[in-house]
Amino acid sequence: MKALILGGTTEATALARLVGGHPRIDAAVSLAGRTKQPVLPPLPTRIGGFGGVEGLAAHLVVGGIQAVVDATHPFADQISANAAAACARVGVPLLVLTRKPWVPGEADRWIGVPDMEAAAKALRPLGKSVFLTIGRQEVTAFEAVPDKRYLIRAVDPPEPAPKLPDYRLILDRGPFTLEGECALLEEHRVDVVVSKNSGGTATEAKLEAARCRGIPVVMVERPPGNGVAEVHDAAAALAWLEGV
């Protein structure tokens, strides 16, 4: 059975490891190519877009793909929408493999917002020093609030560079430790953290550090799903593939 894993996450890599060498599943991984030096999974891998719904549907037909697992980032809403539409069009079963979203505890000071523009607006009364942990693609939204001091952490530099009068860029990739995150917040005197609700453990320490220091977190909630069945671990996705 030929399968396609839409990857780019630790969950996709975990599934690729489980599928590698499987006696009945011949799988490949597709990466969007947005990260300059991605961690490549242990399966045949293509990098780059498909050309929208039409291109992905054609790829599934030409490649004889019999099942697709969407293991992209929880905020990769465009490719997820394309996958849902393309699979429905050509009759290929689709499963979403995604990490569980974070849930605030009693001591957390979260401010939930629907998108990055709302996150920028929410910053206005929340202090001077802002820690942006949102990746590199939507930093420009914070140009609407230029009177803050920004600490930006991403795997790759934002392109284009943000037009912010006062910011510092840290290039780093998780997992991060609680000790390291507490030290970072203290060193830069961070007043507020901005994060996407990506879930998972690799970057969760920043939320615990904010909780320990009593710092508010502006949390951008996930985009709505596409009505596709979801699982939250690679073993469950493998079991689904074995049953297709």
Q: What does the alpha-carbon distance between residue 193 and residue 129 come to, in Å, rounded to a whole number?
A: 9
* 234: pLDDT strictly greater than 80: yes
Written in H, E and C, the secondary structure of 183-244 is: HHHHHCCCCEEEEECCCCCCCCHHHHHHHHHCCCEEEECCCCCCCCCEECCHHHHHHHHHHC
Q: Is 120 helix (H, G, I), strand (E, B) or coil?
A: helix
DSSP string, 64-106: T--EEEE-S-TT-HHHHHHHHHHHHHHT--EEEE-PPPP---T
Owner of token pair 């507490």: 182
Residue 224, pLDDT score: 87
Please give the residue that has the higher pLDDT: either 205 or 8: 205
Going by pLDDT thresholds of 50, 70 and 90, the confidence category of residue 202 is confident
CA torsion 193→198→201→206, rounded to 10°? 0
Give the model confidence (pLDDT) of 130-188 as tens digits.
999 998 889 999 999 999 999 999 988 998 889 999 999 999 988 999 999 999 999 99
Whether pTM > 0.85 for this model: the answer is yes
Owner of token pair 């069009």: 89
Closest Cα partner for 96 from 110, 112, 80? 80
Residue 36, pLDDT score: 61
Residue 8, pLDDT score: 87
Give the model confidence (pLDDT) of 36-87 as tens digits.
666 677 888 999 889 999 999 999 999 999 999 999 999 998 999 999 999 9
Give the model confidence (pLDDT) of 94-138 as tens digits.
999 999 999 999 999 999 999 999 999 999 999 999 999 998 889
